[in-house]
Amino acid sequence: MITLERIAKTYDLGSATVEALVQVDLSIERGEFVTVMGPSGSGKSTLLHILGILDTADAGIYTLEGHDLTTLGDRELSRIRNEHFGFVFQSFNLFNEFSALENVMFPLMYAGMRGPERRDRAEELLSSVGLDHRMGHYPNMLSGGEQQRVAIARALANDPTLILADEPTGNLPSEKGEEILTILESLNRDGVTIVMVTHDDELGQRGSRCVRLRDGRIESDTRKAA
C-alpha cells in the first residue's frame, strides 16, 4: 500500500540543524495496525506527517498504491490527502464553533457531497462511535473522550484507506483512552489500515506491528506472530 525509500527530513532551527528522519525505509501493507514508538524527538510525528502528506521529505521516494508521489504538486497532493487519509490528533482539532455533526460534515462538503447526503453520512458515523445522542453538542459540551470519538468519525468521513493517529489517547484518562483504542481496533478488524504514534508501551503492543524509532532511524520493526 505504502512504501517509503531512503526518506530524509531535516529541520533548520537557526542555530542548529536537526535530522528528524535519516534514510528511513518502510512499507505498510493494507489492513495492518502499525504502532510507532520511540523517545521524544525520535521522529515519530515527523514520520506520521510525511505518511499523511502533511509534510514532505527532503529526500527519498514515497509510493502510494504503486504511484510515486515525490514529483506531484501541492494541489494534487492535497487531493490525494483528502481522498486517502483520515487524521486523528492528540488535541482533537475540532472546530469549536461547529456542532459534532457539523464537524463530521465538514470534510464531506469539500468532497462535493450534497447537503442531505452529508448529514446522513455524518449521522451514521457518529452513531457508529456511540454519539448518536450528542450530535448537536459543541466541543466544549463534550468530554475529551467524546471529542476524540467525533474526531474519529470525522476521520472516517471520506472512507479513507489509512487512518493516521498521533497520540490519540494522550490527553485522555486511561479508561477513556481504552475506549478510543477499542474503536480503532474495531475499525482495523473491519479492514481499515491504521498507523498510530504512541509513547505508551502497553498501547504500542496492541497493534499487529510495532515500529520503533531512535534519532530519526528505525531501530526495530516487529510483527506479531499470526
pLDDT value of position 193: 95
pLDDT value of position 53: 92
Rounded CA gap, 97 and 88, in Å?
19
Quickly count: other Cβ atoms within 10 Å of residue 179's Cβ: 18
> Could you tell me where the DSSP H helices lie in the chain?
44-51, 74-84, 100-110, 115-128, 144-155, 174-189, 201-204
Using a 10 angstrom Cβ sphere, with 0-12 exposed, 13-18 middle and 19 or more buried, the burial of residue 3 is: middle
Structural domains of the chain ordered from first start: 2-220 (3.40.50.300)
| Per-residue model confidence as pLDDT tens for the chain (226 residues) | 899 999 999 998 877 888 999 999 999 999 999 999 999 889 999 999 999 999 999 999 999 998 899 888 888 998 888 888 999 988 889 999 999 999 999 988 877 777 788 899 999 999 999 999 999 999 999 999 999 999 999 999 888 989 999 999 888 888 888 888 998 999 999 999 999 999 888 888 889 999 999 999 999 999 987 6
Quick check: 35 and 203 in contact, CB under 8 A?
yes
pLDDT value of position 141: 95
Pairing of strands 67-68, 217-223: unpaired
pLDDT value of position 226: 63
pLDDT value of position 151: 93
Quick check: 203 and 181 in contact, CB under 8 A?
yes
pLDDT value of position 46: 94
Rounded CA gap, 188 and 169, in Å?
17
Rounded CA gap, 175 and 181, in Å?
10
